[in-house]
């Protein structure tokens, strides 16, 4: 393994670490705040295309080390896509299988990608009518498999597993600290399982307790895959509000328009959750005026063409009709 | 059995009671789900699974399953009229409550709901699940005393609307009540118009449950429905929703937990009312 020449013996050696961090790229044309620099951490540069590679790798290795996999026992996990893609690809490359329980709202592209990555899919109608106690259909179905058929399935449970947090304490946090040479003043990230925000915040606060942790979330009723509104966070046991300074609620439509701006002005082909985070970072930069911000850009736009055209109809390619 | 000061506590059983009574003769468990994949993946040992779409409804016209079909369903599930039937399901017992209403309609004497539904059982460490289907010994179930007074059909609903002498309880979400949406996102069963039946009180079904999916106490429910919701316990009552399942949930609350004397479930609900030409609608 040589990170300089980037020659590897297998894909696992490419997983991110302090020695092999994902890139940090400055936002230039979209940030008018001269005294507040903003850097995007491009998590789509991970081997399987998203920030979830980190948690998936940690969850999988933990199960392997504890002897929970093999002898016909597979993984079962509820996922809105990215964890499943990472987990399926990693698992198959290690000789395991994954049954991914996927909410029907997940974009078509992600469902196909999950199958391409080697997951078996079970699609459930989720969030029929959110209510207390209803839980989450995909989480409950995965729990059912793990409980009723424990000889066949084990559930890593990214929503409750401390290994999800640990992955970011060990990799993302130190990477950011090294890459910014300790100059970071603000961290901007979204909320999903909350492993990312809790893990990075825990590490950075250990280095400098003054670093502001800003969580950005879409307004209720959103369709930004992988993200959760605060009202939906009760399913995530990894949510630790004591580590978060501000939670910004941002109109979810801006996730799509800001993502397009990143694509067309910065050369960063960022997905909608990155667009949402950029909007939050710009609001805080305008408020705080001075700082050094790092934004976690979870994945790129390639999986979201359907959602992008839904929110920005002008992206729909129009065929030129010949007049005869 | 549950107490909690309900008028008819005998219609609810707790998960611990179910665990203690698993496999006992005369006690039959039935899981009724919105998503029937859940039953296939794992269910309470000994439970049979009913699909509300294909087994609890007529497959040609829009109606509940006929008396003959209900008898066949019970016989094939090995249920006898004298059995204690415990119903449970996903989505906080929506379709289990619909099943409960249907069992009562066809006169089954002892039917109960498992408080908290399948999610509560799933999340309790000492409760088992199995993917194995139970071995069934078929019976010859006969319906003896159906009680169709538990069901409101459209003419009665229209009369109740114009007389204004009934409690009409709309249990859908606030956006469905105001007509902002006709159905929750992604739902295929819909209507031609949005809004509600004039005079109906908006008391969403979910106000009746605790965060763990169990029913609230009788005191809480009295406050929610009588003091705050405006339901007059002295009047006859009709509950409705979109397709009749959430309203079954509220029907159980009003008729059994609060003990109102005459409560009917309008299973035609908004998908029927909101599509009828010329009926009054409020937004």
Residue B140 and residue B111 share a domain: yes
- Give the CATH number of the domain where residue B54 resides: 3.40.250.10
Q: Same structural domain for residues B186 and B139?
A: no
Name the one residue in this structure whose structure tokens are 């879409």: A218
Predicted confidence at residue A137, as pLDDT, reads 80
Residue B248 makes CB contacts below 8 A (sequence gap 6+) with B94, B97, B98, B100, B101, B265, B267
How high is the pLDDT of residue A320? 74
For residue A223, give the chain B residue with the closest CA.
B185
B123, B148, B173 — which closes off a domain? B148
B248 shares contact with chain A (CB less than 8 Å): no
Across residues B69-86, what is the average pLDDT?
97
Nearest 5 degrees, angle CA A111-CA A115-CA A120?
Answer: 100
Within 8 A of A137 by CB-CB distance, chain B residues are 35, 90
Q: What are phi and psi for residue A24, nearest 5 degrees?
A: -115, 120
A226-253: per-residue pLDDT in tens? Answer: 666 656 556 578 888 899 999 999 998 9
Q: What is the pLDDT of residue A129?
A: 40
Q: How far is B194 from chain A (nearest CA, A)?
A: 17
User: Do B138 and B175 sit in the same domain of this protein?
Assistant: no
Residue B166, domain member (yes or no)? yes
Of all residues in chain B, the one with the smallest CA distance to A122 is B37
Which residue in the set A129, A134, A137 is minimally distant from B184, CB to CB?
A129
pLDDT in tens, A2-43: 899 999 999 999 999 999 999 999 999 999 999 999 999 999
Residue B214 lies in a domain: yes
Residue A299's pLDDT band, with cuts at 50, 70 and 90, is very high
Residue B2 lies in a domain: no
Question: Are residues B44 and B15 in contact, defined by beta-carbon separation less than 8 angstroms?
Answer: no
Whether B84 and B1 have beta carbons less than 8 Å apart is answered as: no
Q: Does A129 touch chain B (CB under 8 A)?
A: yes
Q: What is the CA radius of gyration of chain B?
A: 18
What is the number of domains present in chain B? Answer: 2
8 Å CB contact of B41 and A145: yes
| Cβ neighbours around B210 below 10 Å, total | 15
Determine contact: A141 vs chain B, CB below 8 A.
Answer: yes
Tell me what the mean pLDDT of segment A153-165 comes to. Answer: 94
Domain boundary among B87, B113, B148: B148
Cβ of B41 and A144 within 8 Å?
A: yes
- What percentage of chain B has pLDDT greater than the value 70? 98
pLDDT at A138 > cutoff 90:
no
**Residues of chain A above pLDDT 70, percent:** 90
B229 and B169 in a single domain? The answer is yes
Dist. CA B183–CA B176, nearest whole Å? 6
The whole-angstrom distance between B42's CA and the closest CA on chain A is 5
Same domain, B26 and B144: yes
* B38:A141 CB<8 A: yes
Band of pLDDT at residue B187, cut at 50, 70 and 90: confident
Nearest to B171 by CA among B103, B92, B113: B92
User: What is the CB-side half-sphere exposure of residue A112 using CA atoms within 13 A?
Assistant: 7
Residue A124 at interface with chain B, using a CB cutoff of 8 Å: yes
Q: Is position B280 within any domain?
A: no
In a domain, B4, yes or no: no
B86 and B141 assigned to the same domain: yes
Domain region containing B93: 9-148
Residue B53 in contact with partner chain A when CB distance is under 8 A: no
Q: Is residue B282 part of a domain?
A: no
- Record: contact B173-A148, CB cut-off 8 A: no
Between strands B27-33 and B167-170, the pairing is unpaired
Which sequence positions of B are flagged as catalytic?
241
Is residue A210 annotated as part of the catalytic site, yes or no? no
Say which residue the tokens 């309609």 belong to: B105
Q: Are residues B190 and B241 in the same domain?
A: yes
Q: Residue B13 above 80 pLDDT?
A: yes
Structure confidence at residue A131 as a pLDDT band (50, 70, 90): very low
pLDDT at A313 exceeding the cut of 80: yes
DSSP classification of residue A290: S
Residue B117 located in a structural domain: yes
Write down which residue in B117, B132, B148 finishes a domain: B148
Task: Tell whether B171 and B81 lie within a shared domain.
Answer: no
Which residue of A122, A133, A144 is in closest CB contact with B212? A133
Confidence of residue B82 (pLDDT cuts 50, 70, 90): very high
Residue B227 domain-assigned (yes or no): yes
Beta-carbon contacts below 8 Å between A and B: 77
Place of tokens 């498999």: A145
Q: Is A150 on the interface with B (CB under 8 A)?
A: no
**Which residue from A294, A224, A305, A303 is spatially nearest to A42, judged by alpha carbons?**
A294
- Burial tier of B80 (Cβ tally within 10 Å: 0-12, 13-18, 19+): middle
CB B264 within 8 A of CB B168: no
Residues B141 and B155 in one domain: no
* CB interface of A with B, residues 190-249, below 8 Å: 221
Same domain, B165 and B246: yes
Q: Is pLDDT at A108 greater than 80 in this prediction?
A: yes
Q: How many angstroms separate the Cα of B197 from the Cα of each of A129, B194, B246? A: 21, 10, 16
Write the pLDDT tens digit of every residue in A164-210.
Answer: 999 999 999 999 999 999 999 999 999 888 999 999 999 999 999 99
Pair (B59, B166) in one structural domain: no
pLDDT of residue B151: 98
Q: Shortest Cα distance from B23 to chain A (angstroms)?
A: 18
Query: Helix, strand, or coil here: A170?
Result: helix
- Interchain contact, B119 vs A140, CB within 8 Å: yes
> Is A147 annotated in the active site?
no
Report CB contact under 8 Å: B42, A131.
no
> Domains in chain A, start-ordered, CATH in brackets?
11-45+169-311 (3.40.50.1100), 52-154 (3.40.50.1100)
Task: Spell out which residues of chain B touch residue A147, defining contact as CB-CB under 8 Å.
Answer: 42, 122, 128-129
Residues B30 and B50 in one domain: yes
Q: What is the secondary structure of A37-69 as a DSSP string?
A: EEEEEEGGGSTTSBTHHHHHHHHHHHHHHTT-S
Give the residue from B42, B97, B245 with the most A CB atoms within 10 Å of its CB, the best one to mutate.
Answer: B42
Q: Which residue of B has its CA nearest to A128?
A: B184
């Amino acid at each position: 393994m040589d990170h300089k020449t980037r020659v590897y013996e297998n894909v696992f050696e490419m997983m991110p670490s302090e020695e092999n961090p994902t890139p940090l790229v400055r936002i230039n044309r979209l940030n008018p705040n001269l005294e507040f620099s903003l850097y995007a951490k491009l998590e789509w540069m991970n081997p399987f295309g998203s920030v979830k590679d980190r948690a998936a790798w940690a969850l999988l290795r933990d199960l392997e080390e504890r002897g929970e996999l093999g002898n016909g026992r597979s993984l079962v996990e509820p996922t809105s896509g990215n964890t499943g893609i990472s987990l399926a690809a990693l698992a198959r490359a290690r000789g395991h299988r994954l049954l991914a329980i996927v909410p029907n709202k997940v974009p078509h592209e992600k469902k196909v990608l999950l199958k391409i990555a080697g997951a078996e899919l079970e699609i459930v109608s989720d969030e029929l009518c959110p209510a207390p106690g209803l839980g989450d259909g995909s989480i409950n179905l995965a729990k059912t498999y793990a409980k009723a058929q424990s000889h066949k399935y084990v559930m890593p449970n990214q929503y409750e597993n401390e290994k999800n947090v640990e992955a970011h304490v060990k990799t993302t946090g130190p990477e950011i600290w090294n890459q910014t040479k300790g100059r970071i003043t603000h961290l901007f990230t979204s909320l999903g399982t909350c492993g990312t925000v809790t893990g990075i915040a825990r590490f950075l606060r250990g280095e400098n307790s003054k670093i502001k942790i800003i969580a950005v979330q879409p307004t209720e009723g959103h369709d930004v895959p992988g993200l959760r509104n605060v009202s939906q966070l009760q399913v995530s046991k990894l949510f630790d509000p004591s580590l978060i300074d501000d939670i910004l609620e941002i109109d979810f439509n801006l996730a799509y328009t800001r993502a397009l701006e990143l694509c067309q002005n910065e050369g960063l082909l960022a997905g909608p959750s990155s667009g949402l985070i950029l909007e939050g970072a710009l609001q805080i930069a305008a408020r705080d005026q001075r700082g050094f911000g790092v934004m976690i850009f979870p994945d790129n736009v390639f999986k979201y063409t359907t959602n992008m055209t839904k929110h920005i109809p002008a992206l729909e390619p129009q065929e030129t009709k010949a007049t005869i | 059995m549950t107490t909690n000061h309900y008028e008819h506590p005998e219609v609810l059983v707790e998960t611990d009671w179910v665990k203690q009574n698993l496999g006992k003769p005369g006690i039959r468990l039935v899981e009724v789900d919105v998503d029937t994949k859940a039953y296939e993946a794992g269910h309470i040992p000994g439970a049979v699974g009913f699909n509300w779409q294909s087994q609890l409804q007529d497959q040609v016209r829009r109606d509940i399953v006929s008396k003959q079909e209900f008898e066949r369903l019970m016989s094939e599930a090995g249920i006898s009229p004298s059995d204690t039937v415990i119903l449970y399901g996903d989505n906080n017992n929506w379709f289990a409550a619909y099943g409960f209403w249907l069992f009562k309609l066809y006169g089954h004497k002892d039917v109960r709901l498992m408080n908290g539904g399948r999610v509560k059982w799933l999340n309790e460490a000492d409760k088992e699940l199995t993917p194995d289907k139970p071995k069934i010994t078929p019976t010859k179930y006969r319906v003896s005393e159906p009680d169709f007074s538990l069901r409101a059909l459209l003419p009665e609903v229209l009369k109740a609307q114009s007389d204004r002498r009934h409690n009409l309880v709309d249990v859908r979400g606030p956006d469905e009540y105001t007509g902002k949406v006709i159905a929750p996102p992604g739902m295929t069963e819909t209507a031609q118009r949005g809004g509600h039946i004039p005079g109906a009180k908006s008391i969403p079904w979910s106000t009746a449950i605790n965060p763990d999916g169990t029913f609230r106490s009788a005191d809480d429910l009295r406050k929610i429905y009588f003091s705050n919701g405006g339901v007059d316990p002295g009047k006859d009552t009709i509950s409705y929703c979109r397709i009749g399942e959430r309203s079954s949930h509220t029907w159980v609350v009003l008729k059994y937990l609060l003990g109102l004397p005459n409560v009917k479930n309008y299973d035609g609900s908004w998908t029927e009312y909101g599509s009828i030409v010329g009926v009054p609608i409020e937004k």
